[in-house]
């Protein structure tokens, strides 16, 4: 628990890293109904596509410097030397970032969905999808951030963005399936399967990549 708390305090001090992505998400979602006046009576048409892309972009911005400070001041090297469970340290850092950024964005997704659709059941499904997708996107961009640790965050985003596209497709199909009364269980299981694979592999891959940078 002490490790979680220390990671929380470290992130809390970096206001831009956790508050910035949330503000970006809110601004995009608020701007949507203001910029599509021709869809005033049917805002739901493009809402969910924008929602998933907004979550994707917010998670990308949140990981921009997730390792950079620790890399520059030598903290990462000290952690690797002092502990044999570096992948679990990575997993804890990702989890804290999700609690501080992904979870609030998921809750906001519910509110925006409810405001647009007035459908409580659909909006509850949206918050569930938002929680899953935000954690998946966060892990993917953490991987990208590790790959481009000393080469700039843009490169990492470009590398990992294609990996996020299948998730966006499944998210879109899940909403359509629910709206038209089609069985969406297979799509949901696909997302959960993807989440479980990512949770169990990304921390180990990221730790290996970071160690390679430090050698």
Domain boundaries, the chain: 2-214
- CA quadruple 49, 165, 142, 156: dihedral, nearest 10: -110
Q: What is the pLDDT of residues 51-68, one digit of tens each?
A: 999 999 999 999 888 888
Q: What is the pLDDT of residues 88-124, one digit of tens each?
A: 989 999 999 999 999 999 999 999 999 888 889 999 9
pTM of this prediction exceeds 0.75: yes
Q: How many helices (H) and strands (E) does the chain have?
A: 10, 0
CB within 8 Å of 207: residues ≥ 6 apart: 86, 87, 89, 90
Rounded Cα gap, residues 211 and 215, in angstroms: 6
Least confident of 2-11, 63-72, 124-133, 179-188: 2-11
Neighbours of 61 (CB within 10 A): 21
Which tokens is 4 given? 């979680």
- In a 13 Å sphere around the CA of 12, the CA atoms on its Cβ side amount to 6
Q: Per-residue pLDDT for 19 more than 60?
A: yes
Rounded Cα gap, residues 186 and 172, in angstroms: 14
Contact (Cβ atoms closer than 8 angstroms) between residue 57 and residue 101: no
Q: Per-residue pLDDT for 8 more than 90?
A: no
Mean pLDDT of the chain: 87
Rounded Cα gap, residues 190 and 169, in angstroms: 12
Phi-psi region of 129 (alpha: psi -120 to 50; beta: other; left: phi over 0): alpha
pLDDT for residue 38 = 56
CA angle (30, 33, 37) in 5-degree steps? 150
Report residue 197 CA to chain centroid gap: 15
Least confident of 1-15, 77-91, 108-122: 1-15
pLDDT for residue 71 = 83
Q: What is the pLDDT of residues 118-168, one digit of tens each?
A: 889 999 999 999 999 999 999 999 999 998 887 766 778 888 899 999 999
């Amino acid at each position: 628990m002490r490790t979680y708390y220390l990671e929380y305090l470290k992130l809390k001090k970096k206001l831009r890293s956790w508050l910035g992505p949330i503000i970006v998400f809110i601004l995009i979602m608020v701007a949507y109904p203001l910029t599509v006046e021709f869809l005033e009576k049917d805002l739901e048409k493009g809402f969910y596509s924008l929602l998933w892309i907004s979550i994707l972009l917010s998670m990308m911005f949140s990981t921009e410097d997730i390792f950079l400070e620790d890399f520059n001041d030598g903290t990462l090297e000290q952690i690797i030397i002092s502990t044999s469970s570096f992948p679990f340290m990575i997993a804890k850092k990702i989890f804290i970032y999700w609690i501080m950024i992904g979870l609030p964005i998921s809750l906001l997704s519910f509110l925006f969905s409810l405001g647009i659709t007035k459908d409580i059941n659909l909006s509850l499904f949206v918050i569930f999808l938002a929680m899953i997708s935000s954690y998946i996107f966060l892990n993917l961009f953490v991987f990208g951030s590790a790959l481009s640790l000393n080469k700039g965050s843009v490169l990492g985003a470009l590398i990992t963005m294609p990996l996020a596209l299948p998730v966006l497709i499944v998210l879109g199909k899940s909403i359509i399936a629910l709206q038209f009364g089609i069985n969406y269980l297979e799509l949901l299981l696909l997302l959960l399967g993807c989440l479980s694979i990512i949770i169990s592999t990304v921390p180990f891959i990221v730790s290996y990549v970071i160690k390679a940078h430090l050698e």
